[in-house]
Amino acid sequence: MIRRVRILAAKELKSFFDSPFAYVLLIVWLVISSYFFFRAAFLMGEASLRPLFELLPWLLLFFVPAVTMRSLSAEKQDGTLEVLLSHPINEVEIIAAKLIANVGFVVIALLLTLPIPLGMSLGGRLDLGMMAGQYLGAVFLIIGLSSVGIFASSLSKNQTVSFIIALFFTFLLISTGLQFVIMAVPFPLTNVVRQLSALAHFDSMTRGVIGLADIAYFAALTMVFSALSYFGLRRERESHQSARYKMLRLGTALIIIVSVLVSLIGSSIGGRVDLTAGRLYSLSGATSKILRELPDVVTIKLYSSRQLPPEAEAALRDIKDVVLDYQAISKGRVKALFLSPKNGAEAQAELQEAGIEQVQFNVVRQDEYQVKKGFLGLTIEYGSQKETIPFINQTADLEYQLSRLIRKISSEKQKKVVFLEGHSPIKPPPGLGAENPDTYGQWRALLAEVYQVEDLAIKKGEAIPKDIGVVIIAGPTSSAAKHELKTLTKFIEEGGSVLALIDSLTISDQTMGVVPNKTNFTNFLAGYGLTVQPRLLFDMQSNQMISAGSQDNYFSIPYPFWMQVQPASDDTIVRDIGVVTIPWGQSLKIGKKSKPLLVTTQFAGFQAKDFDVMPNPEMNIAKEKLSKQIVAASRTLKSGGRLIVVGDSDFLKDKFVAAQGSANGVFGQNAVDWLAQDASLAGIRSKNTQGRMLVFQSEAVRDGVRYFNLGGVPLIVALLGFARLSRRRQRTRKVFAS
């Protein structure tokens, strides 16, 4: 059987490439996918294939029906199906061979997009594991949709009709995963509809995580439509009154029922393979270490409503997986409980006591939106102590939150971090975490999740208290007194740590004027081989967009003085840190014993005089004047003392920490963790901010990558097709001597 299927599949696949239509399909596929991908990817400025795989289901919506429409329709129309069945081959083998051949052709089309990631790698470091997961997920989607197309082809002799039927079923499977479609479905059916959607399961795989539940879904989808295709072929050869036909109908119905049930209960199937670099969706080694060091049992109680909106149901599966992972690797130190209290006064009291919030969401019932209450939160209990996450609205940082809270309630005492007072015009916000664009309120709130955060004034004759681990010098504009520098020196020599955010130049947001900022902190840090130079940096390639123009005519332009910098090494502080924006930064000159942490791209320059920081879309600097610059660096002393110096104090203010996609706050937290010699949470925290920058060496390289994929690859396919078809035409015209 396998040999017959292999021979038939090879013949079918070869027949694709004997037709000009196949090459036209491939060229259209490549042009459309490349055009829309590069349009989105270059706007994002991120080394990621996400735009391609977000578009892929909608490309396959048309591509797969166009490929599969001739599979059985052409055989029926030409009368070759009966001839084929007269040979020692059955319907199962025919359908299997057709499926393999059609999947093979579409997978070849998918593989022809590989020059896209190869080109992108010239401008950024792709997550190869995630890419592998995305392509593997695409193969599963192709298998499922191809089975739909073959089923449609079995229904009619007309290829156009088969195309339309396949288009309808494919659109149904994809569109049911869209949020606005799910919202239009009556609430009790929303989760059923979502579980039956191919898009929902494919989206899960595009993260680079291959789950058994998603594999089970695509296997069930393929089985359902393959069974229907088999039924379509067999029913034409059986009398509808015969017992064999009735058994055929019953067997097909049972296969469909079992497959649908497998798909619906798939959300409860655990197990997944995380292919991402750094295992973004698996527990880190730091979490394992925290759990191993627990002196007693921690109980995690997950509270969830019996009925949740679809997006919350999807999150619930991920949350359960994470909690079960904690229980599995803790070796008995973590106990997981999943609770769904019923409605009523007793349940309300239980939730209130646990600190779980009830939230409102809209559902559709009787053709109108209705407001419904639900809950999805958890508690962490250790002895008599308890910490609560009242409502889990996203799972990206769930591991960090759980590990942070477990460590917090199981630790005897929090370490102390202080901000040096008396030298910065920035006052602490009125409340911890209160947002003010020109304060460090958001950053202080993040630090307070792990440390005791206070302010410190160094008094003459007094040493820095022993329980203080890190002193933060944030944006000083006045010099320190001699006794302050002496006290700081002693603190460092005795193993203390300092984080210094130093401006050698200050810039006014209002006037855009640049003035020197001369304080003795600069010379103090230079003594440790960390000198902030009065050079205002800009980066011509990696920078942030800002809004400019008049009140009625706003537009966005790149602003080179707000640089997007990158890690200088694989150090724990900056590993997989994501995008850190440094506004109006200054360069660092470091000694041999210091280590760079953050650097610009090689397209950075500086102004040392005649400063002009006004937005200028026509700003142009000769390439020979550009080079990589150091923005942040660290040093560890023999005494055990540690220092980190950053040539900017604005990047940790609220307006930059709170910006969407910003890793500024993560860098600030990681820096303090390292200085406090407690970097256990740094690796977990950084897992959630992995935005990989996309910066090409030049515009020519970027355009070359775009146009090679947009025009070069389709042209190669066209030439290969022309060569093959020409050679085939010559063979058919060749006259052989008798």
Describe the crossing of helices 128-153 and 198-205 by its angle, rounded to 10 degrees: 160
Amino acid in position 684 = I
Q: Which of 140-149, 182-191, 654-663, 676-685 has the lowest mean pLDDT?
A: 182-191
Per-residue pLDDT at 635? 95
Furthest-apart CA atoms within the chain: distance in Å: 114
Alpha helices for 154-273 (secondary structure H): 159-175, 179-184, 190-195, 198-205, 212-234, 243-264
In this predicted structure, the answer to whether residue 145 has a pLDDT above a threshold of 50 is: yes
> pLDDT value at position 617?
84
How much of the chain, in percent, has pLDDT values that exceed 70? 90
| Residue 60 token pair | 């396959």
The share of the chain scoring above pLDDT 90, in percent, equals: 45
CB 590 within 8 A of CB 528: no
pLDDT of 688 > 70? The answer is: no
Q: What is the mean pLDDT of residues 360-374?
A: 62
Using DSSP's 3-state secondary structure scheme, residue 669 falls into helix
pLDDT over 80 (residue 267): no
Tokens 């920035």 map to which residue? 426
Q: Give the integer Cα–Cα distance in Å for 290 and 462.
A: 36
Give every CB contact of residue 141 below 8 A, 6+ residues apart in sequence: 56, 57, 60, 198, 202, 218
Residue range 582-616, pLDDT digits in tens:
999 999 999 999 999 999 999 999 999 989 999 88
- pLDDT surpassing 80 at residue 214: yes
Q: At residue 690, does pLDDT exceed 60?
A: no
What is the identity of the amino acid at 663? A
Lowest mean pLDDT segment, chosen from 421-435, 442-456, 474-488, 530-544:
421-435
**180, 247 Cβ separation under 8 angstroms:** no
The stretch 80-94 carries a mean pLDDT of 75
Q: Is the pLDDT of residue 366 over 70?
A: no
Beta-strand ranges (E) seen in 246-358 are 272-274, 298-304, 334-339
How far does CA 285 lie from the centroid of its chain?
A: 20
Asked if 46 and 130 count as a contact pair (C-beta separation under 8 A), the reply is no
Q: What is the pLDDT of residue 183?
A: 64
With 0.85 as the threshold, say if the pTM is over it. no
Q: Is residue 707 over pLDDT 80?
A: yes
Helix (H) or strand (E) holding 211: strand 209-211
Q: Is the pLDDT of residue 432 over 50?
A: no
Supply 713's token pair. 């690859």
Q: Which of 571-580, 640-649, 718-727 has the lowest mean pLDDT?
A: 571-580
Predicted confidence at residue 362, as pLDDT, reads 60
DSSP 467-535: TEEEEEEES--SPPPHHHHHHHHHHHHTT-EEEEE--SEEE-TTT--EEE---HHHHHHHTTTEEEEEE
In three-state secondary structure terms, 337 is: strand
Please name the amino acid found at residue 375.
F
Q: Which residues contact 194 (CB under 8 A, 6 or more apart)?
A: 176, 177, 182, 200, 310, 313, 314
Confidence bin at 182 (pLDDT 50/70/90):
low
Give the integer Cα–Cα distance in Å for 381 and 333: 12
Over the stretch 376-406, which tens digit does the pLDDT of each residue have?
899 999 988 899 999 887 787 888 889 989 9
pLDDT at 70: 87
| C-beta of residue 187 within 8 angstroms of C-beta of residue 363 | yes
What 3-state class would DSSP assign to 634? strand
Region 495-515 average pLDDT? 90
Section 480-506 average pLDDT? 94
Higher pLDDT, 225 or 511: 225
For residue 738, the model assigns a pLDDT of: 54
Please provide residue 369's backbone torsions phi and psi, each rounded to the nearest 5 degrees: -75, 135
| Highest-confidence segment of 170-184, 420-434, 465-479, 680-694 | 465-479
Length of the chain: 738
Asked if residue 673 lies in contact with residue 654, where contact means CB atoms within 8 angstroms, the answer is: no
CA distances from 382 to 294, 387, 409, 411 (A): 10, 9, 7, 10
Mean pLDDT comparison of 243-257, 318-332, 640-654, highest-scoring range: 640-654
Q: Can you tell me the distance from the alpha carbon of 384 to that of 409, in angstroms, rounded to the nearest whole number?
A: 10
Please give the Cα distance from 658 to 646 (Å, whole number): 19
d(CA 379, CA 302): 7
Mean pLDDT of 117-146: 92
The pLDDT-based confidence of 144 (bands split at 50, 70, 90) is very high
Q: What is the pLDDT of residue 184?
A: 67
**Per-residue confidence (pLDDT) for residue 517, from 0 to 100:** 93
Give the whole-angstrom CA distance, residue 631 versus residue 42: 25
Query: Residue 671: is its pLDDT beyond 90?
Result: yes
Look at residue 735 in the predicted model and tell me its pLDDT: 63
Write out the two tokens for 206: 């595009």
Pick from 642, 649, 667: nearest CA to 585: 649
Burial (CB < 10 A; 0-12, 13-18, 19+), residue 693, is buried
- Averaged pLDDT, 558-584: 89
DSSP 330: T
pLDDT confidence band for 433 (50 / 70 / 90): very low
Contacts of 43 (CB under 8 A, 6+ apart): none
3-class DSSP state of 565: strand
pLDDT tens digit string along 474-484?
Answer: 999 999 999 99
Average pLDDT, the chain: 86
Task: Fill in the DSSP letter of residue 711.
Answer: I
CB distance 406 to 324 below 8 Å: no
Assess contact for 57 and 199: CB atoms under 8 A.
yes
**Of the candidates 665, 673, 675, which has an alpha carbon nearest to the alpha carbon of residue 645?**
675
